[in-house]
Amino acid sequence: MIKTILGAVVLFAAIAFTAYLAFHYAPIEKTMGPIQKIFYLHLPSAFSSFIALGICFYANLRYVFTREAKWDWLGVSAAEVGLAFISVVLITGPIWAHPVWGIWWTWDARLTLTFVLWLLYTAYLLLRSMLEEPDKRALFSSLFGIFAFLDVPLVYFSIRWWRTQHPQPVILGGPGSGLDPRMRVSYLLVWAAFTGLLILLLNGRYKLEAMRASVEELRREAEVR
Partner 1 sequence: MKNLDSVLAAYLAGWAIFFVYYISVAQRMNTLRQQIEQLKNSLNRGK
Partner 2 sequence: MALLSNTAVLLGKELRTEFRSRELLTTTVVFILTIVVLFSFTFDPSVTESRRFGPGLLWLTFLFAASLMLQPGFLREQNNDTLSALRLSVSDPFAIFLAKLAASAIFLLLTEMMMLPIFAVLYNVHILAVLPQLVLVFFLGSLGVAIPGTAFSAISAQARMRELMLPVLLLPLLTPVLIASTEATAALLSESPQLRVDWLGFLAGFDVVFLTALWLFGEYLLEE
Binding site for partner 2 (CB under 8 A): 64, 116, 119-120, 123, 126-127, 130-132, 136, 139-140, 143-144, 146-148, 150-151, 154-155, 157-159, 161-162, 165
Q: Residue 80's CB: how many other CB atoms inside 10 A?
A: 20
Nearest residue (CB) to partner 2, 41 versus 79: 79
As measured in angstroms, the least distance from the Cβ of 160 to partner 2 is 10
As measured in angstroms, the least distance from the Cβ of 8 to partner 1 is 7
Residue whose C-alpha is closest to residue 79's, from 45, 122, 132, 35: 122
What is d(CA 133, CA 137) in angstroms, rounded to the nearest whole number?
Answer: 6
As measured in angstroms, the least distance from the Cβ of 27 to partner 2 is 39
What is d(CA 91, CA 42) in angstroms, rounded to the nearest whole number?
Answer: 10
What is d(CA 147, CA 144) in angstroms, rounded to the nearest whole number?
Answer: 5
CA distances from 150 to 1, 53, 79, 220 (A): 39, 11, 15, 37
Instruction: Name which of partner 1, partner 2, none residue 106 binds, using a CB cut-off of 5 to 8 Å depending on partner kind.
Output: none
Nearest residue (CB) to partner 2, 1 versus 130: 130
What is d(CA 47, CA 40) in angstroms, rounded to the nearest whole number?
Answer: 11
Are 56 and 149 contacting, i.e. CB atoms less than 8 angstroms apart?
yes
What does the radius of gyration of the chain's CA atoms come to, in whole angstroms? Answer: 20
Instruction: Name which of partner 1, partner 2, none residue 215 binds, using a CB cut-off of 5 to 8 Å depending on partner kind.
Output: partner 1
Q: Which residues bind partner 1 (CB under 8 A)?
A: 4, 7-8, 11, 15, 19, 22, 33-35, 37-38, 41, 45, 81, 84, 87-88, 91-93, 95-100, 197, 200-201, 204-205, 207-208, 211-212, 214-215, 218-219, 221-222, 225
Nearest residue (CB) to partner 1, 96 versus 140: 96
